[in-house]
A and B are shown apart, each in its own frame.
Chain A
Amino acid sequence: MSSDSVSTNSRYGMVIDLDKCTGCGACSVACMSENNIGVLPDETDKIRSITWLRVYQIDNGLPYPQTRIAFIPRPCQHCAGSKGHHTPCVSVCPATATDRDGQTGIVSQVPTRCIGCRYCVAACPYHARYFNWFDVSWPEGMDRPLNPFVSARMRGVVEKCTFCFHRYQQAKNKSFVNDSSEILEGDYQTACAEACPSRAIVFGDLNNINHEVFKLKKNPNVFRLLERLNTDTAVYYMSKKKWIRRKADNYLPNEKDGD
């Protein structure tokens, strides 16, 4: 794991404890509400449905009554790329509509720059990017609760989780007003981390020794999704259950399980 060292730059990320996650979906809905994600009349069409943070259900594959289920919340992994690899989506974007901020480690998405080529969607190994096939309509009063700090997107552009970057900007303003050089852990929290009733999602600066995620990411049960691709993601997962680690890390049955 290349993010273990302490750096002067921040790298915001998450540690998600899958043993605490109960799949209630609060994180996902809080994300939608915060980021003005649209609703289509038919949300069962998952190719067109947009869910920045999708919660996947997995099971251990054993027959009754050994079966157990678990959940994997999957936001954008905010890849840094390591060992000569790049952030997959950033390196393919012809319009610089997505970029990785070196100061925060956050992979941005600028809808107004996006030309809708969808190279990034194809490049993302985590299926974290969504394309607006249609204009979302906001009829029947549903535009009233829109968050003014996030723009609603139009058709023909890609969108994805931004780690609630507008909240980072607000926290930055707050620290500036308070004459502080540091953004406090509590001042910048994503909507999903704030919403989780089990406190399974912990968000913070992975490089800041005072932040909880700095300690949590060193837990021996921590892993990341598709680590072999050297995407160096900012989202860590944690589980004491071996079957969850194996399944989430996408190891094949004949491979070693990484323990």
Chain B
Amino acid sequence: MNWDRRAFIKFALGAVAGLHVSPLVPKLMDDVSIWTQNWSWVPVSEKGEVRSKTSINPRTLTGVKVKVLNSRVSGKRIIGLSGDSSFSLGNGGLLASDASVPQKFYYENMKVTTPVIRKKGVRGQVSADEALEVVIDRLRDLKQSGKSSRVAFFADYNCQSIVNELLVRFVSMYGTGHLIFMPSAERMLELVGESMFGRKSLGFDLENSQYIISFGTPFLEGYGSPVNMRKIFVDWKNVGATFVQIEPRASITASQADIWLPCKPGKEGVLAYAMANLIVQEGKASSFVKKAKDFDSFRKFLSENYDLDKVSYEADVPVDEIKKVARGFMESSKAVAVCGPGNSSDPGTLFNFMAVLTLNAVKGNLGEPGGLVVREKFSWENSDRANLDLSFGNGTISAKEKKEIRNNFNMYAFAKEVLEDRIKIDTIVLVDCNPVYSGPRTKMMEKLLKKVPFVVSVSECMDETSKLADVVLPKASFLECWGDAVTPYASARSFYSVHKPLIRESLQVKSTGDWIIGLFDGICDLEKDSSLSFRSVEEALSLRISNMGDDFEKSLKREIWLQKNASYDEFDIKTGTGKVNLLLDVLYKKYSRMSDVENLIDRDSRVVMMGIPSLRTGSVNVPMSPYQLKILDETTLAFKDRLIVEVNPSTVYELGFENGEMVRIISAVGEIRASLHFSNGVRPGVIFVPIGLGHTAFGLYLKNKGVNFFDVVDVYTDCVTGLPEWELTPVNIVKMGEVNDHV
């Protein structure tokens, strides 16, 4: 064929026509589009039968429905959680941290699934039995050589829980006085309640109250059972209750309040006493306080020190506002004043607790609906925690084993003593707590764990504390073990619930209680009488439920939760005198001391630092999930994981700072780096730092996201109670010479 111009054109036209008719082009395009959308690393989740099972998250006290998928190849797995509307706390919703439980449960860089032992600086995995044996050998050797007191136990304070009871019994049997609890508002309320009224289990009857004053309590940022708090909050709106929030920042709670009294930081208690003063001076004080033996001195003290004009100046709240709130509180038939915990994830201060409980006593709402009530006890609860004859029938410990337990609630004072060699400690056992991250003086706690020769951590996560431990005993999630959930902080009603195993992912994890029972078994051969009558947490719970007069099996079938109603019987004062103790002697002491703290804070070039609690970042005890990280906006965590702190423009204009300026925030114990965010909602002179960020553990998705607020938080010991307080930290802000846009 002659390849001339005509032939070429014919060929070209034929090719064009052919391509149009041929299925080749669309077929290839189709294949390409399918190929580009079928990457092998896009997972295809296997289907199967889904069953919904009820449970309770003991950390958040949310009743949940757990979706368990049973598939043919990959077996059982959890694919989601939703709220349980039949649950008594809340109205069926859940929290961000509940919704991300499955993600945290399967995220391998977070969950510990096998015991870990560190030998010569190298960590290795071992079986549960081997790990337990190592710990038992260590504890047994120390006990046999008469060095029991060289062992310290650190734990969360959760006094009604089965773990707490087992731990107290174990420590008593073992014979060390160093059982140290993480600081808690619950303990503070117990102490002040006992001192003032001779009653420990106090609760604020928020559900039935019509006039509520919160003295700095972050109701909507994670108080008690957060889902239940939201139900109460919506009910307040529906019934038209008046809700007053007193705090220095336009927080979520303050913005949702009917009245917000923006006060100087740390002045909430002063305002409470001022309101009490107004009520007393107007002759409307209740018979509870009028009967108190030092009432006249108390009245005089209030009028001298808590005069409204003086307090108005001191707290920077107008007199009219204080009067309006105090009178509204006094005139309402169902009113309550609430305190603790603090915004800096602190237990609150003794002064605030005293002031608020005094205000309630002056109002006379003790034992009244919507007031301050005493929670009913479950039958197994004992009034004296040092007396260990608790609920276990055969397991009662004999008198000779009742060692004096020093329920030490100040681990920072303890750490300092150990670091200064005033106390000799060879072993620390940390039970489900992470003091290297979740409290003040993190560097000091890290130093402590590095100094002590043998550290054991019972933990669900490979967190900052567990990374320093010689032995990590993996704690089972609530999805895979027996356990209980107990009354939230300052609840008016007692609450108890049990969760049971729904799935088994690893054979090497155990509930905290089962680890303690394992230690008991390994060591109690030295103390024959002290053996337990049960072999597992399940049996212990069964005994406890039986002691409550309930059948365990039947209870479980109806998805057990037990709750007693708020008690409105007469509020018996059980102090030595049978009258309310207004704690005047303590007040004299605290009043003089407050001035010292203020002097420290008001020094030139210093500002005060407080925390920003949030359900988005989660609580310090529950690390956030990768999903929770996604819901943080640019005013919390900015581009490239920069921590953002809130500050009023007027605080830093004079110093020449700009919005987005990178600064060093320096306190007496450390420093952090962050970007400034100018916010009108915060009080001038105060810098607010988000809590819950800056973990140095948990892998690519969670490590080094922001900075830990607690790295810069200082702590001081209350001179009256000996408890740690860290509501406010004086800091300096220093420019780094870099400005970044973050919004």
Instruction: Report the Cα distance A57→B71, complex, angstroms.
Output: 41
Tell me if B43 and A138 are in contact (CB < 8 A). yes
User: CB distance A141 to B106 under 8 Å?
Assistant: yes
CB distance from A118 to the nearest CB of B (A): 16
B616 to nearest A CB, angstroms?
5
Q: For the complex, what is the distance from the CA of A256 to the CA of B161, rounded to whole Å?
A: 58
A51 in the interface, Cβ–Cβ < 8 Å? yes
B629 with A24: CB separation less than 8 A: no
The answer, yes or no, to whether B127 is at the interface (CB within 8 Å) is no
* A85 in contact (CB, < 8 A): no
**Candidates B47, B103, B616, B648; contact of A148 at CB < 8 Å:** B47
In the complex, what distance in Å separates the CA atom of A50 from the CA atom of B629? 12
- A43 engages B45 (CB within 8 Å): no
Partner of B106, one of A43, A50, A56, A142: A142
Instruction: Let me know if B641 and A145 touch, CB within 8 A.
Output: no
Q: Give the distance in Å from the alpha carbon of A54 to the alpha carbon of B632 in the complex.
A: 10
Q: Is B297 an interface residue (CB 8 A)?
A: no
Could you say which residues of chain B place their CB within 8 Å of the CB of A143?
Answer: 43, 45
User: Whole-angstrom distance from the CB of A221 to the nearest CB of chain B?
Assistant: 13
Are the CB atoms of B94 and A145 closer together than 8 Å?
Answer: no
Question: Is the Cβ of A147 less than 8 Å from the Cβ of B80?
Answer: yes
Would you give the shortest CB distance from B690 to chain A, in whole angstroms? 13
Dominant secondary structure of chain A at its interface with chain B: loop
- A137–B701 CA distance with the chains assembled, in angstroms: 11
**In angstroms, how far is the closest chain A Cβ from the Cβ of B563?**
19
B240-254 CB mask vs A (1 if < 8 Å, else 0) is 000000000011101
Q: Determine which residue in A42, A112, A138, A156 has the highest number of CB atoms from chain B within 10 A of its CB, and name it.
A: A42
CA distance A25 to B78 in the complex (A): 21
Q: Mark B619-632, 1 if CB is under 8 A from A, else 0.
A: 00000011111111
Q: Is B615 an interface residue (CB 8 A)?
A: yes
Do A197 and B83 touch across chains, with their CB atoms under 8 A apart? yes
Tell whether B226 is near chain A: CB-to-CB under 8 Å: yes
Residues of B within 8 A of A62 (CB): 680
A33 touches B80 (CB 8 A): yes
B331 on interface, CB distance cutoff 8 Å? no
Residues of B within 8 A of A39 (CB): 626-627, 629-630, 701
| C-alpha spacing A36/B616, complex, angstroms | 19
Q: Beta-carbon contacts of A181-218 to B below 8 Å, as 1s and 0s? A: 00000000001001111110000000000000000000
User: Which residues from chain B sit less than 8 Å from chain A, CB to CB?
Assistant: 33, 36-39, 41-48, 69, 71, 74, 77-83, 90-96, 98-100, 102-103, 105-109, 220, 226-227, 230-231, 233-234, 237, 250-252, 254-256, 260, 262, 615-616, 625-635, 637-642, 648, 679-684, 699-701, 705
- Interface contact B43-A152, CB-CB below 8 Å: yes
Q: For residue B699, which residue of chain A has the nearest CB?
A: A140
Partner of B79, one of A19, A42, A56, A146: A146
Size of interface on A: residues with Cβ below 8 Å to B: 70
A and B contact pairs by CB, cutoff 8 A, 24 listed: A22-B220, A22-B230, A26-B93, A28-B96, A29-B628, A29-B631, A33-B80, A37-B630, A39-B626, A39-B701, A59-B680, A64-B683, A68-B681, A112-B37, A137-B41, A140-B699, A141-B108, A142-B626, A144-B102, A154-B39, A157-B37, A196-B93, A198-B93, A199-B93
Within the complex, the shortest CB–CB distance from A2 to chain B, in Å, comes to 30
Contacts of B226 in A (CB 8 A): 24, 197
Besides the known contacts A22-B220, A25-B615, A65-B683, 8 further A-B residue pairs in the complex with CB atoms under 8 A apart:
A24-B220, A24-B616, A29-B630, A33-B103, A44-B637, A44-B641, A61-B680, A156-B37
**Bound-complex Cα distance A248 to B446 (A):** 47
- Residues on B with C-beta less than 8 A from A37 are 627, 630
One digit per residue, 1 when the CB lies within 8 angstroms of any chain B CB and 0 when it does not, for chain A 92-136 equals 000000000000000000011001000000000000000000011
Q: Are B230 and A197 in contact (CB under 8 A)?
A: yes
Complex alpha-carbon distance, A255 and B700, angstroms: 48
Give Cα A37 to B103, complex, Å: 11
Q: Is the CB of B626 within 8 A of A33?
A: no
A69 B630 Cβ-Cβ under 8 A: no
A234 at the interface (CB under 8 A from B): no
User: Which residue in A19, A30, A148 is a CB contact (below 8 Å) of B82?
Assistant: A30
Task: Flag if B107 contacts A141 (CB, 8 Å).
Answer: yes
B107 touches A142 (CB 8 A): yes
Given the interface pairs A20-B237, A143-B45, A197-B91, the reply to whether A67 lies near B77 with Cβ below 8 Å is no
Q: Across chains A and B, which 7 residue pairs bring their CB atoms closest together, nearest first? A: A197-B93, A145-B102, A65-B262, A146-B45, A67-B681, A144-B106, A148-B45
CB pair B635–A57 under 8 Å, yes or no, is yes
User: Hey, which chain B residues are within 8 Å of A45, CB to CB?
Assistant: 639
Q: How far is the CA of A57 from the CA of B612 in the complex (A)?
A: 15
Cβ of B633: which chain A residues have Cβ within 8 Å of it?
Answer: 56-57
A83 contacts chain B at the CB level, 8 A cutoff:
no
Instruction: Choose from B107, B626, B648 the contact partner of A43 (Cβ within 8 Å).
Output: B626
Please name all residues of chain A whose beta carbon is closer than 8 Å to the beta carbon of B640 when the two chains form the complex. Answer: 42, 44
> Given contacts A24-B226, A141-B107, A191-B82, are A69 and B233 in contact (CB under 8 A)?
no
Q: Tell me the A1-37 residues at the B interface (CB within 8 Å).
A: 19-20, 22-26, 28-30, 32-34, 36-37
A247 within 8 A of B: no
Contact A148 B33, CB 8 Å, known A41-B701, A64-B681, A65-B250: no
Cβ-closest chain B residue relative to A30 = B99
Answer whether A64 and B42 are a contact pair too, CB < 8 Å, given A24-B95, A42-B641, A145-B78. no
- Interchain CB contact under 8 A, B681 and A69: yes
A226 within 8 A of B: no
Contacts of B48 on A, CB cut-off 8 Å? 148
Which residues of the partner chain A approach B109 to less than 8 Å between Cβ atoms? 140
In the assembled complex, which residues on chain A have CB atoms less than 8 Å from the CB atom of B92? 194, 199
Q: In the docked arrangement, what's the CA distance between A113 and B98, Å?
A: 34
Q: Is A153 on the interface with B (CB-CB < 8 A)?
A: yes
- The docked-state distance in angstroms from the alpha carbon of A239 to that of B443 is 46
Give the residues in chain B near A84, CB-CB below 8 Å: none
Q: How far apart are A192's CB and chain B's nearest CB, in angstroms?
A: 10
B252 partner, pick from A22, A32, A144, A147, beta carbons under 8 A: A22
Across the interface, A145 reaches (CB within 8 A) one of B106, B260, B262, B628, namely: B106
